[in-house]
Amino acid sequence: MSISTGDHLPDATLVTLTDKGPAPVTIKEKTAGRKVVIFGLPGAYTGVCSTAHVPSFIRTKAQFDEKGVDEIICVSVNDPFVMGAWSESTGAGAAGLTFLGDPVSEFTKALGLEFSAPPVGLIDRSKRYAMLVEDGVVKALNVEENAGVCDISAGEGLLDSM
């Protein structure tokens, strides 16, 4: 069963790349007492993820800041090294977005938002989504029907849902 508006996020451990190497980060610590946006996507360096989804949150970051959002977090089923390099290459880190790896799909599966497409090498990847979370509770959730589309899960789509 998939996560829904009004649900508490499941706790899971993601991984970030720090100047000292990979470090664990729990969803609970990232969301407790905070207003955050979490957006998930099928994979780092993939087409729509790189050309539409990440840029939409870079473009709309100031609008989320104005709405009191403390942090915008991108989650993908990738290792922290890939996520760190992708954050740098897209300019997302410099724009103030946080990239967290979900290397074994723990968080993605706990949300019920995983999918697999073996012919293209995507196994247990994340559906494309965006959510607003306040103190660990999902306040808005936009999940795309097709992973190749980035409309309601884009930054602008989530802003329209707030």
- Domain-wise residue ranges, the chain: 13-161
- Pairing outcome for strands 21-26 and 13-18: antiparallel
The reported pLDDT for the residue numbered 120 is: 84
Mean residue pLDDT of the chain comes to 96
Where are any strands of DSSP class E within 27-85?
A: 35-41, 71-76
Over range 78-104, report the average pLDDT: 97
In the chain, % of residues over pLDDT 70: 100
- Estimate to the nearest angstrom the gap between the alpha carbon of 32 and the chain centroid: 17
Over range 53-63, report the average pLDDT: 98
Summarised one tens digit per residue, pLDDT across range 95-136 is 999 999 999 999 999 999 999 988 888 889 999 999 999 999
The reported pLDDT for the residue numbered 161 is: 93
Over range 88-99, report the average pLDDT: 98
Residue 1 has pLDDT above 80, yes or no: no
Confidence grade of residue 13 (pLDDT, cut at 50, 70, 90): very high
User: What are residue 2's phi and psi, to 5 degrees?
Assistant: -85, 155
Class of the 13-161 domain?
Answer: alpha beta
The reported pLDDT for the residue numbered 147 is: 87
Strand arrangement, sheet containing 35-41: 21-26, 13-18, 98-101, 71-76, 35-41, 129-134, 137-143
The reported pLDDT for the residue numbered 121 is: 82
CA distances in angstroms from 22 to 15, 18, 100, listed in the order given:
6, 6, 10
Catalytic residues: 49
Confidence grade of residue 4 (pLDDT, cut at 50, 70, 90): very high
pTM across the whole model: 0.96
Contact 88, 61 (CB under 8 A): no
